[in-house]
A and B are shown apart, each in its own frame.
Chain A
Amino acid sequence: MVETGIPKLDDFLDGGIPKGKSLVYYIQPGVEGEIFGMQTIHSTLKSGGTAIFVVSSTIPDIVKGQFKEYGWDIDPYKDKLFFVDSYNPLIGAPSNEKYVVQKPDNINDFNKIILDIIKETPPGTIVFGSLSTIMDLCGEKETIEAVKTWNKMAMVHDHVMVYNFTAWPYSRETLELIQGDLFNAVISIGGIAERVIFGQYFGVLKSDWAEITKKSMLFRVLRPGGVKLFIPKILVTGPFDAGKSTFVHALSTRAISVDRLGTTIAMDHGHVDYKGFSADIFGTPGQERFDPIIKLLSGESMGVFLVVDSTNPADFVRAKHMLEITKSYGLPYVVVANKQDSSGALKPEEIRNQFNLPQDVPVVPVVAKDKIGVFEAFEILIDKITGGA
């Protein structure tokens, strides 16, 4: 099994790509998809595997620079990572790589080298930086025939085959084959401009070893960092003085607040980078006089933290009301039972009872001021937002 290294995708694929299987990253033009293949190379190397990168659309040195940009040091893997250079010959430049495709516009030249690699190197991950470029140079039919052979041979020799493919307007037949029978798994990578969420997503279109999930994940490409799952908005709400601002700051890699006289008058805004996730956190004020603004700003949330002061059950009515104002019913939410360090703090189960909360709403014990429980709460909410593991 080789992990793709893309957060959540490995869960969707029941752990990763099994030996002998092929997978294509099917990329809408204009979307930053080529990093997916690179991230899978990095993941292979990190777990001790061997990787071959077939570089067709730029010189290998530039690709090596891109690995650095993403923060992935490939220098320690000199005897584990090899490049197939099919670009330098195209522009008539010399190549220093171990494998060179001398005639990149001739599929037979590719065939010979790829088959040699499949037969003669130990089982590893073979990644094509751009199958579409090979197709442009060698022809659609010819390339597809070659890929069929490579995938079959790789199956027998226990290699994992990974292809980046940009879905330019090729013939319908070609695109259908690529989304259909040619590979064991198809991951579609696209862009959305839905309402005001402008972003990029990926989802599993096909997989013949794992049951497929219909869910698509928004992602961002960070330099350094690579592909991170992106949650554009998580709301933090709750009564005055419950510890919302403290919670936002405890969770965030960086955060700002608009506070006057010790209380939030506009909002808190923070950014969390944690376990492959990149999320923006919006904290609301708590007092009723700010309700009109809270309403305005809570749209488009993907999940909610409802922060309560566990020592102050009198405020629970207001807390529930805030779920209403923020239109949070129906969204995944987690109750943050804050100030668990104070004497008289109610236990999470007592809070559940007082609140009359359904069993499936998690109540997480937290001491926001000491950062205790904040990341547990984050993981639980993220799991609810992304539909569990």
Chain B
Amino acid sequence: MSDTIELVDKLLADLKNIGGVEACIAASRDGLLIRATMEKEQLMDSLSAMSATMLGAAETAITQAEKGVPNRVIVESEHGKLVVVGAGSKALLIVLAAPNAGLGLILLELEKSAKKLKDILT
């Protein structure tokens, strides 16, 4: 067990090292916090729940419109960005980034990390 947790922590720490990334969370598809780079457990708990809801709703919406499955959900505001990507059928990854962070590199790395997370959890 500690091995799996270590691997997830490493993956999140690497992701967090990318410029502009402020926090990363691994959560389950049904909204439970797995691990996060930030200590604020309460905030992480509700972020996990809400991000799973957003991705779930996006998935339902776009498949019902027969437009395939969503690659990611991106939320942009004046004060920051939130990106949610699926990581296999069980998990998802959430990144909180600074408002001026470039999404190009972040999205690229996020895809790679999502694949890794999927493998770690299977």
Residue of B nearest to A191 (CB): B1
- A282 and B31 within 8 A (CB): yes
**Chain B interface main SS type:** helix
Give the B interface residue count (CB, 8 A).
27
- A297 and B53 within 8 A (CB): yes
Looking at B2, B8, B49, B56, which has the most chain A CB atoms within 10 Å of its CB?
B49
Q: How far is the CA of A28 from the CA of B2 in the complex (A)?
A: 10
Residue of B nearest to A298 (CB): B30
- A193 and B1 within 8 A (CB): yes
Residues of B within 8 A of A297 (CB): 30-31, 49, 52-53, 56
- A196 and B60 within 8 A (CB): no
**A180 part of interface (Cβ distance < 8 Å):** no
Given known A-B contacts A198-B35, A269-B49, A297-B52, A193 and B5 have beta carbons under 8 A apart: yes
Residues of B within 8 A of A28 (CB): 2
**A293 part of interface (Cβ distance < 8 Å):** yes
- B5 and A191 within 8 A (CB): yes
**Chain A interface main SS type:** strand
**B42 part of interface (Cβ distance < 8 Å):** yes
**A296 part of interface (Cβ distance < 8 Å):** yes
Of the candidates A190, A193, A197, the one whose C-beta lies within 8 Å of that of B32 is A197
- B5 and A258 within 8 A (CB): no
Of the candidates B34, B50, B60, the one whose C-beta lies within 8 Å of that of A198 is B34
Size category of the A interface is 20 to 34
Binding site for A on B (CB under 8 A): 1-2, 4-5, 8, 28-32, 34-35, 42, 45-46, 49-50, 52-54, 56-57, 59-60, 90-91, 121
Other contacts beyond A254-B42, A267-B50: 19, CB < 8 A: A28-B2, A29-B2, A193-B4, A196-B28, A196-B29, A196-B91, A198-B34, A198-B35, A256-B46, A267-B31, A269-B50, A280-B32, A280-B49, A292-B56, A293-B53, A296-B29, A297-B30, A299-B29, A300-B28
